Amino acid sequence: MTAPAEHPEGLDRSDPEAEINARAEAYRNWGRWGEDDVLGTLNFVDAAKRRQAAALVTDGTVVSLTQPFDMNGPQKGWRRRTNPVHTMLDTGTDAERGNQGFPHGIGGADDIVAMPLQCSTQWDGLGHIFDHGFAWNGRRAGDVVTSDGDLVTGIEHAAAAGVSRGVLLDLGRHLYPETGELPDGYAITAADLDACIAAQGATSAVGRGDMVVVRTGQLARAKRDGWGDYAGGPAPGLSLTTAGWIHRTEVAAIATDTWGFEVRPNEFDVAAFQPLHQVAIPNIGLTIGELWDLDALAESCLARGRYEFLLVASPLAITGAVGSPINPVAIF
């Protein structure tokens, strides 16, 4: 058996099933961390990696990688994914007017949010995607995620696992230095990733346990031109053929500034939907970040000539969740 192709030209664009299955089999990590594992590639982050990451903090600057969470976001309701709806339970207007009934001049405001866990900057949990009815580590999907949530690999298990060395790979700037933006539909290859690392220099080296953030520039374009079909439409992103690179480098997580992490339209001439997710999440056990804002980070890295930092992106401990809104911070 030959290894799956690592360039889109090697894909049989008429047969997604075969191309997906080949990579699922080649890169499957089931059992690698035991039968009971709930963390997947987050296991690659060890104490040494976290010490290395913390040691990268030399000037004390924090850059948040979050997009806003509000009604002006990109969601259009696909599969009931809406923008977050934030409403007030108590307001300053009521407090000022004396409507609240509290004693001695105290007043308060309180609020509530209803939001899909994938509405803005987020982690995909391990229960988010299945492959032919199977979830991460070979469990049956219906044993893992029911209407009661993810009973096995809920995101709460990763509560302490969102800390590592982060590395920015600014593919937008690397490949399109004039605009800093990959065009929609651009499939980032393993060779592109390696070339970007080489071009950016030693601080971009990627290895076991690192969390890689790949900037495509699509968000910068959406900020300028409007959301359009940012949530689900054509986008730059990783090629299915990067699955080998992901597996080989043993990165802990990958995040992008796009809705869907991988290139869209997907790389087939027949019906296909997020094939790299299908390989990466249930088979490799990869935690994926989406809808991150990497523009300020890219400026920081460029100005410093340094692409590594302490990354802290802790999921909310929502029991049984298959994803989590986050506010990732890069600390230099």
Nearest to its own copies of 8, 82 (CB atom):
82
Q: What character string, x for contact with its own copies (CB under 8 A) and - otherwise, covers 10-29?
A: ------xx--x---------
Radius of gyration of the chain from its Cα atoms, rounded to whole angstroms: 20
Tokens of 58: 């030399």
77 forms part of the interface with its own copies (CB under 8 A):
yes
The secondary structure of 171-187, three-state, reads HHHHHCCCCCCCCCCCE
Contact region for its own copies (CB under 8 A) — 62-70, 182-190, 195-203, 250-258? Answer: 62-70
DSSP string of 207-269?
-TT-EEEEE-SHHHHHHHH--TTTTTSSB-EE-GGGHHHHHHHT-SEEEESSSSSB-BS-S-S
Near its own copies by CB under 8 A: residue from 54, 223, 228, 299? 54
Nearest to its own copies of 100, 250 (CB atom):
100
Q: What character string, x for contact with its own copies (CB under 8 A) and - otherwise, covers 124-163?
A: ---xxxxxxx-x----xxxxxxxxxxx-----x--xxxxx
Nearest to its own copies of 98, 185 (CB atom):
98
How far does Cα 259 stand from its chain's mean position? 9
**Under rule CB under 8 A, which residues in 302-321 are in contact with its own copies?**
310, 312, 314-321
Nearest to its own copies of 115, 246 (CB atom):
115
Contact region for its own copies (CB under 8 A) — 66-74, 181-189, 196-204, 215-223? Answer: 66-74
**Under rule CB under 8 A, which residues in 236-295 are in contact with its own copies?**
270-275, 277-278
Quick one: CA torsion of 39, 42, 43, 48, rounded to 10 degrees?
-150
Query: For residues 119 and 13, is the Cβ–Cβ distance under 8 A?
Result: no
Near its own copies by CB under 8 A: residue from 71, 138, 207, 208? 71
Nearest to its own copies of 144, 246 (CB atom):
144
**Under rule CB under 8 A, which residues in 79-118 are in contact with its own copies?**
79-99, 102-118
Angle, helices 218-225 vs 295-304, to 10°: value is 120
198 forms part of the interface with its own copies (CB under 8 A):
no
Query: For residues 324 and 125, is the Cβ–Cβ distance under 8 A?
Result: yes
